[in-house]
A and B are shown apart, each in its own frame.
Chain A
Amino acid sequence: MIDVLIIGGGIAGLETACSLQDLGYETVIVEKEKTIGGHLNDWDTLFPTHRPASEVLEHYTEETRKRALTIYLNTYVISVKKQADGLFEVQTSRDVVFHCKSVVLASGYQLFNAERKEEYGYKIYDNVLTSADLEKRLKNLQGEFTTPTGVSPKRIAFIHCVGSRDEKSGNHYCSKLCCVTAVKQAIHMKQICPQADVFCCYMDLRMYGPGFEEMYREAQEKYHVQFIRGRLSEVAENANGSLQLKVEDTLAARPSRLQVDMLVLMVGMETAKSTELFAQSCGLECASNRFVKTKDHHIGSNQTNVDGIFTAGASIGPLSVFDTVNHAKSAAFAVNDYLKAMK
Chain B
Amino acid sequence: MRNFGFSTTKSRTIDYEKIDNRLIRYVLENEPTFNACLSCGSCTAICSAGNLTSFNIRRLSLQIRLGELEHAHEELDKCMLCGKCLLECPRGINTRNVIMLMKKGLYLIESESKEKNDR
A272 to B14, CA, bound (A): 40
Q: A254, B16: Cβ atoms under 8 Å?
A: no
Q: Are A251 and B62 in contact (CB under 8 A)?
A: yes
A61 at the interface (CB under 8 A from B): no
- In the complex, B35 has a CB within 8 A of chain A: yes
Out of A217, A251, A257, name the residue touching B13 (CB < 8 Å). A257
Check if B81 is an interface residue, CB within 8 A of chain A: no
Q: Is the CB of B15 within 8 A of A257?
A: yes
If A217-B91, A258-B16 touch, whether A252 touches B36 (CB-CB below 8 Å) is no
User: How far apart are A90's CB and chain B's nearest CB, in angstroms?
Assistant: 51
Residues in A neighbouring B12, C-beta threshold 8 A: 254-255
Q: Which of B14, B32, B33, B39 contacts A256 (CB 8 A)?
A: B14
Let me know if A229 and B39 touch, CB within 8 A.
yes
Docked CA distance A279–B16 (Å): 49
Mark interface residues in B64-84 (1 if CB within 8 Å of A CB, else 0): 001000000000000000000
When distances are taken between beta carbons in the complex, the residues of chain B under 8 Å from A155 are 16
Is A220 in the interface zone, CB < 8 Å from B? yes
**Complex: how many Å from CA A155 to CA B15?**
14
> Which of B14, B32, B35, B63 is in CB contact (< 8 Å) with A255?
B14
Taking a contact as CB atoms closer than 8 A, the residue among B15, B16, B36, B62 that contacts A221 in the complex is B36
Which residue of chain B is the closest to A221 with respect to CB atoms? B35
In the complex, whether A188 has a CB less than 8 A from a CB of chain B is: no
B118 interface residue, CB < 8 Å from A? no
Q: How many of chain B's residues touch chain A, expressed as a range? A: 10 to 19
Residues of chain A within 8 A of B115, CB atoms compared: none
Q: Which residues between 73 and 130 of chain A lie within 8 Å of chain B, taking CB atoms?
A: none
Q: Is the pair B16, A259 in contact by a Cβ cutoff of 8 Å?
A: yes
Across the interface, do B35 and A224 meet the contact criterion of CB distance under 8 Å?
A: yes
Selected from A217, A229, A252, A256, the residue in CB contact (under 8 A) with B16 is: A256
Smallest Cβ-Cβ distance to A225: which chain B residue: B35
* Bound: A281/B14 CA distance, A: 53
Inter-chain CA distance A259–B14, complex, in Å, is 11
Q: Are A220 and B14 in contact (CB-based, < 8 A)?
A: no
A249 within 8 A of B: yes
| Distance A255 CA – B15 CA, assembled complex (angstroms) | 9
**In the bound complex, what is the Cα–Cα distance between A276 and B63 (angstroms)?**
49
Q: Pick the contact of A254 from B13, B33, B39 — CB < 8 Å?
A: B13
The answer to whether A220 and B35 touch across the interface, beta carbons within 8 angstroms, is yes
Question: From B12, which residue of chain A is reached at the shortest CB distance?
Answer: A254
Cβ–Cβ < 8 Å partners of B15 in chain A: 256-257
The contact sample of 24 A-B pairs, CB cut-off 8 A, is: A217-B36, A220-B35, A220-B36, A221-B32, A221-B33, A229-B39, A249-B66, A251-B39, A251-B62, A252-B62, A254-B12, A254-B13, A254-B14, A255-B12, A255-B13, A256-B14, A256-B15, A256-B16, A257-B13, A257-B14, A257-B15, A258-B16, A259-B16, A259-B17
Interface residues of B (CB under 8 A from A): 12-17, 28, 32-33, 35-36, 39, 62-63, 66, 91
Query: Ordered nearest first, which 4 A-B pairs have the shortest CB separation?
Result: A256-B14, A221-B35, A220-B35, A220-B36
Residues of A within 8 A of B (CB): 155, 217, 220-221, 224, 229, 249, 251-252, 254-259
Having A224-B28, A224-B35, one finds 19 other A-B pairs with CB under 8 Å, namely A155-B16, A217-B36, A217-B91, A220-B36, A249-B66, A252-B14, A252-B62, A252-B63, A252-B66, A254-B14, A255-B12, A255-B14, A256-B13, A256-B15, A256-B16, A257-B15, A257-B16, A258-B16, A259-B16
